Amino acid sequence: FPEMLSNPELVLVQGSLKVVLKQNVTLCCRPGSGPAPVRYTLFKHREQVSSVNSSLLAPVLFNLTISSASDVGTYKCKVEYNTSSDGKYSNSLAFTLTEPISKPVLSSPTSQAKKGQNVTLSCFSENGSLPITYTFFKGNQTISSQKMMKREAAVIFLFVNSFADSGTYKCKASNSFPNCTKYSKSFNFTLAEERSYSQPLIISLGLILLLLVIGLALAIPLFIIPSYKASE
C-alpha cells in the first residue's frame, strides 16, 4: 500500500510565518490519498519535532511555541504507514523571527562644515530583523530613505552650500516588527564662518606699524642725545 499514499500538504492555520518570541502557531498536516492507518510526523529541517498516530486519514494539527531563535526555520510533515519505513513528505513552510528594532544612532565625522564642503551622515541600528528602512530628516522634511538588506549603516552625502544646509538632522529606523519605529537623537551641523582675507592683512599692517613705532622710540635717544651733547 505505501505506493498508494500521495504527498501531504502542510498549511499554517494559526499565526504567521513572520513570528516574534513566545508566539503560538498551529500547523496542519493534510494527508493525500491512501488508506488508514497513517503516522504523521513533523520535522524542523531533519529533526523530528512531533509525531502522531492516527487511525483515520484526517488532518492532524501541530501546535508550536516560538520560544527562541532555534525554533524558527523550515518545517515539513511526513505521512507513512505504521508498518512501513517509507513515507511521503509535504511542502515546506519557513518561519522567520521578527526582532524589534533598536534606537538608531545618527553620526557624522564632523559637526562643523565650511561653505562648499561635502559631509556625510550615517544612520545605524545595532539590533532588529532585516531588512531595515532608514529615513533621514532635516527638521520635519524627509530628505532620503534607504532600505538596507544587510546589517550596515545607511549613508547620505550633503553638500553644504549655505546656512540653510546647517541645522538639525534626525533619522528613523523601521522593520517588519509591528508598531515599532525608532528615532535617533538630533544631530546639529553648524556652518563655520569664513574669515575675510582683509583681516590677516590688517593684523599684519598693525604689527608692522607697532614695530616701527617701537623702533623710532629706541632710535631717538641714540641720535638726539649725542647731537645735543655735541652742541654744548
Question: What would the pLDDT profile of 137-160 be if each residue is shown by its tens digit?
Answer: 999 999 999 999 999 999 999 888
Percent pLDDT > 70 in the chain is 84
| C-alpha torsion sign, points 133, 149, 168, 144 | negative
DSSP-assigned letter for residue 102: P
The pLDDT of residue 179 is above 70: yes
Average pLDDT over the chain, rounded to an integer: 85
User: What is the per-residue pLDDT for 192?
Assistant: 77
Q: Measure CA of the first residue to CA of the last residue in the chain; give whole Å.
A: 146
Mean pLDDT of 36-44: 87
Given 2.120.10.10, 2.60.40.10, 2.30.140.10, 3.40.50.970, which CATH number is that of 9-97? 2.60.40.10
Domain with CATH 2.60.40.10 in the chain: 9-97, 105-191
User: What is the per-residue pLDDT for 197?
Assistant: 47
User: What is the per-residue pLDDT for 106?
Assistant: 96
The pLDDT of residue 3 is above 70: no
Architecture of domain 105-191: Sandwich (2.60)
Q: Which residue has the higher pLDDT, 84 or 54?
A: 54
* pTM, to two decimals: 0.60
Q: Which positions ≥6 away from 25 have C-beta within 8 Å?
A: 12, 14, 15, 16, 19, 63, 64, 65, 66, 95
User: What is the per-residue pLDDT for 105?
Assistant: 97
Mean pLDDT of 73-83: 86
DSSP H stretches of helix in the chain:
198-231
DSSP-assigned letter for residue 35: P
User: What is the per-residue pLDDT for 124?
Assistant: 97
User: What is the per-residue pLDDT for 1?
Assistant: 45
Return the minimum-mean-pLDDT range out of 12-16, 77-81, 167-171, 179-183. 77-81
